[in-house]
A and B are shown apart, each in its own frame.
Chain A
């Protein structure tokens, strides 16, 4: 009976996030298919192969496969896998972190039993989301009168489902061994991003095509399931991974001492404990880090900043430069054949130039995501997080205005947004130097500044939602939803007359529309983004001032 309870509780706790995620994706899919339907399809006939493999598009690309590839093949799979791995990470590790695992195990219920129930809930919800997406994938073409003859939508969904489970089980296994949900989601999400990029990039590079097989993502898109149906060999590879992670999770959880609600020991803590490094470390981590609200807020997110900043600096910045010179020739023939509308989803860009390359690979999607990861974390968590952890009351017992708290949290958010923006700038500038691409430094700086402002504006939106509601999850989901919709509306603006007017309402319009990598800074666009951020912070102050603080934890 307890099995049912843990299972149902976990399912009930988590179904909303899954439902919102899959509903958003389903909407985006219908939207994209509707847009693609109205576009001249002649340009799709000779898509470069690597690109097709990356986004899962069949050779005789048509409306349907474009929509499947662009929405489900990249965003969709990433979102579904992200939701699943979040559940996996929160599994037993989440209970340990909250200090509720001991209570749970005080019932006649084994560790393995709890793990099984939690995992079953994860599988069920992932399956349900996949079914929603599958259903949308079948119904949308009917409504929009788009032919899907010869398409294996079910096969695509099945691959996507198994891929999501792969990362979900990976997160569960890491969580079981470490008891840390942060480590679990960090590792699994990191592997997911790297594998997405690896599976897309290596097929371009001659002689290294087989390296793509190292990455789990390859077994999702590699066989082009939407075109060729289910590839049981590839499913088998992912399945074997899932089996290994299950065993690892069970063994790891069974043999380990459970944590009570303790706090991990970080490197800085060790340095503080060491008499030689004590003074320096204490200055860094001790009194300095609690000197002000914004410094403390910033220090809480330094791990996230370090990871995001270095990924953007090394992988998306420095490495991309030499890579462009490396693949330059093989790309040259294919450049003219790219369907711009598809590239638009990844930020667009003329791939024959280094600027276009960087725009497509780094600035189009990854750069705004990376800045937003940091600004959203602080914006959504800064106010609502303190309320949810019940520390806001204590904070406000000090002679500090509510507006001061909002402004201090904003300071931390803006600072971190700019640090990520600067790592993007530095990475791309160095990458351009290393690859001998000769890009204009000022233009790189301008684009980095604009992407920072986009990220800060969305961070301010999250802050506003968090100030208004005191609920960090709502702030995150709400902001991500608005960001997705405004991103797609802007990406498709050149291809749909109906969207041109709407696109100006999208913050992304003020990011790449002026082609800052070629034309340098557009101060008017920068001012719009900065003005938006300022207005949202002002609104946050007003809303936070008016509201009763939440009591529940």
Chain B
């Protein structure tokens, strides 16, 4: 990861009449990082992406990609980016190969051996018409066209929708590889687990405002988890309630369930030496709970 900035927005604002889709968005996405852009449906993720791609124009504020103004140099910028739109639509009458050929012609050439390699990795069928493909298989064509020109910046809006878990894993590996080679990935998602797995930093957007911008590790430590502990003997619930960050403790004989936010070490410390822990299972709280936590902290005036 370098200190260069791949994407920068300054006071980026977009209003649709009275609807404030983006409000004063300031963000810096560093070169070489995977940036997860999280938010519930309708929060402004897609509006932000469409604005920096010059599909729509900001009401105020500016944005730049690889140091170039997104409106003034939009065509130059597009030589350096790959893009997967949300709710991807392709040309149903074209085969996957035709589709790739079309976009590669618009870009002025592409390395076909790389395309074939990508297709292999994602198990994509390039010979069938896109309209005959399932949405997951269609999504693979969208991913290939975004990766194929080895872009400096990859901008992807909900890219893993419809992909099966195996392909998702391959796709995550692909993201890590390109960032290892210096590219930047801007990944919009509402799936926390995916973002947690690959992203270096995340931004959380709600009602058009960026309400949090931090490293995944700190988000994870903030994140609520549901913890189940199994012991070889009966335990006392009060022991757990005393730990900072623990709530909703329920004890059934040898079995304790609780909600916990904080570093896991604190919880394990009170257990070790006192009881014999047989098994432990932790489950990350779902996105909704994380969001709720944030929204409680940072109420956005409507």
Q: How far is the CA of A480 from the CA of B155 in the complex (A)?
A: 41
Q: Does residue B106 face the partner (Cβ distance < 8 Å to A)?
A: yes
- Quick check: B75 and A400 within 8 Å, CB to CB? yes
Q: How far is the CA of A553 from the CA of B92 in the complex (A)?
A: 15
- Quick check: B56 and A290 within 8 Å, CB to CB? no
Interface pick from A53-61, A185-193, A386-394: A386-394
Q: Mark B134-156, 1 if CB is under 8 A from A, else 0.
A: 00000000100100000000000
Complex interface: chain B residues within 8 A of A389 (CB): 89
Q: Does residue A300 face the partner (Cβ distance < 8 Å to B)?
A: yes
Q: Tell me whether A400 and B78 are in contact in the complex, defined as CB-CB below 8 angstroms, given that A549-B56, A553-B89 are known contacts.
A: yes
Min CB distance, B66 to chain A, in Å? Answer: 13
Q: Does residue B121 face the partner (Cβ distance < 8 Å to A)?
A: no
Q: Does residue A262 face the partner (Cβ distance < 8 Å to B)?
A: yes
Complex interface: chain A residues within 8 A of B78 (CB): 396-400
Q: Which of B98, B102, B107 contacts A399 (CB 8 A)?
A: B107
Give the number of residues in B that approach A within 8 Å (Cβ atoms). Answer: 40
Q: How far is the CA of A393 from the CA of B99 in the complex (A)?
A: 15
Min CB distance, B79 to chain A, in Å? Answer: 4
Complex interface: chain A residues within 8 A of B89 (CB): 389-391, 394, 553
Q: Tell me whether A291 and B87 are in contact in the complex, defined as CB-CB below 8 angstroms, given that A393-B55, A548-B57, A551-B50 are known contacts.
A: no
Count of CB-CB pairs between chains A and B under 8 Å: 88
The number of chain A residues touching the other chain, given as a range, is 20 to 34
Q: Which of B46, B90, B93 contacts A394 (CB 8 A)?
A: B90
Q: How far is the CA of A389 from the CA of B131 in the complex (A)?
A: 12
Q: Tell me whether A548 and B56 are in contact in the complex, defined as CB-CB below 8 angstroms, given that A289-B98, A393-B50, A553-B89 are known contacts.
A: yes
Contacting residues of chain A (269-296) with chain B, CB-CB under 8 angstroms:
269, 286-287, 289-293, 296
Q: Tell me whether A396 and B54 are in contact in the complex, defined as CB-CB below 8 angstroms, given that A290-B98, A290-B101, A290-B105 are known contacts.
A: yes
- Quick check: A390 and B98 within 8 Å, CB to CB? no
Complex interface: chain B residues within 8 A of A392 (CB): 55
Q: How far is the CA of A261 from the CA of B138 in the complex (A)?
A: 13
Q: Does residue A267 face the partner (Cβ distance < 8 Å to B)?
A: no
Complex interface: chain B residues within 8 A of A109 (CB): none
Q: Does residue B132 face the partner (Cβ distance < 8 Å to A)?
A: yes
Q: Tell me whether A391 and B90 are in contact in the complex, defined as CB-CB below 8 angstroms, given that A397-B78, A399-B75, A399-B76 are known contacts.
A: yes
Complex interface: chain A residues within 8 A of B105 (CB): 290-292
Which residues in B have some Cβ–Cβ distance to A below 8 Å? 46, 50, 53-57, 75-76, 78-79, 81-83, 85, 87-95, 97-99, 101-103, 105-108, 129-132, 142, 145
Give 26 CB contacts A-B under 8 Å.
Answer: A262-B131, A263-B92, A286-B101, A290-B94, A290-B99, A291-B101, A300-B93, A390-B85, A390-B89, A391-B91, A394-B89, A394-B90, A396-B53, A396-B78, A397-B78, A397-B82, A398-B107, A399-B75, A399-B76, A399-B78, A399-B106, A401-B75, A548-B56, A548-B57, A549-B55, A551-B46
Which residues in A have some Cβ–Cβ distance to B below 8 Å? 261-263, 269, 286-287, 289-293, 296, 300, 389-401, 548-549, 551, 553
